[in-house]
Structure 1
Amino acid sequence: MADVVAVRLRMRLITGEAQGRSLDVECRYEAGDPFAVRLDFGADEGAVWVLARDLLAAGLREPVGDGDVRIEPSRTGEHVYIALGGETGIALLNAPVRPLTRFLRATGRAVPVGTESDRIDWDRWLDALLSA
Structure 2
Amino acid sequence: MWPDEKDEELDALTASEIMLEDAPPLPCDLQMRFTDRDPLVVRLAVPYTGADGTDLPGGVWVVSRDLLSAALTGPAGIGNIRVAPIALPGAPLRIAIRLHGKHSRVTILLEHRALLEYLQHTHHMVPFGEEVEASDMNREIDLFFDSRH
Shorter-normalised TM range: 0.7 to 0.9
Length-normalised TM-score, structure 1: 0.84
Is structure 2 residue 131 aligned with structure 1 residue 113?
no
Cross-structure match for 2:53 = none
Correspondence 1:83 to 2:83? no
Partner of 2:78: 66
How far, CA to CA, are the matches of 1:96 and 1:22 in structure 2? 13
Amino acid at match of 2:133: D
TM-superposed CA distance for 1:57, in Å, is 0.5
- CA RMSD of the aligned region, Å? 2.4
More strand by share: 1
Residue pair 2:28, 2:47 contacting (<8 A) in 1 also: no
Kindly indicate whether residue 60 of structure 2 is the aligned counterpart of residue 48 of structure 1.
Answer: yes
Aligned counterpart in structure 2 of residue 20 of structure 1, from 11, 14, 25: 25
Secondary structure at 1:65 match in 2:
coil
99-108 or 71-80, larger mean C-alpha shift: 71-80
Displacement of 1:110? 0.6
Task: Looking at secondary structure, tell me which structure has more helix per residue.
Answer: 1
Give % identity: 29
Q: Distance in 2 between matches of 1:97 and 1:104?
A: 11
- Compute the displacement of 1:125 (Å): 4.8
Describe the SS at the equivalent of 1:119: helix
Counterpart of 2:69 in structure 1 is: 57
TM-score computed with the length of structure 2 as normaliser: 0.75
Amino acid in structure 1 at the alignment position of 2:29: D
1:32 maps to which of 37, 44, 49: 37
Q: What letter matches 1:95 in structure 2?
A: L
Corresponding letter in the other structure for 2:10: V
Larger radius of gyration, structure 1 or 2? Answer: 2
CA displacement, residues 83-104 of structure 1 (integer Å, 9 cap, x when unaligned): 0111221101211110111000
Following the alignment from structure 1 to structure 2, what is the Cα–Cα distance between the partners of residues 74 and 59?
A: 10
**Distance in 2 of aligned mates of 1:48 and 1:13:** 13
What amino acid is aligned across from residue 77 of structure 2 in structure 1? G
1:43 CA displacement: 5.3
Question: CA-to-partner distance for each residue in 1:42-97, whole Å, 9 max, x for gaps?
Answer: 35455210011010000111100111100011135710111011122110121111
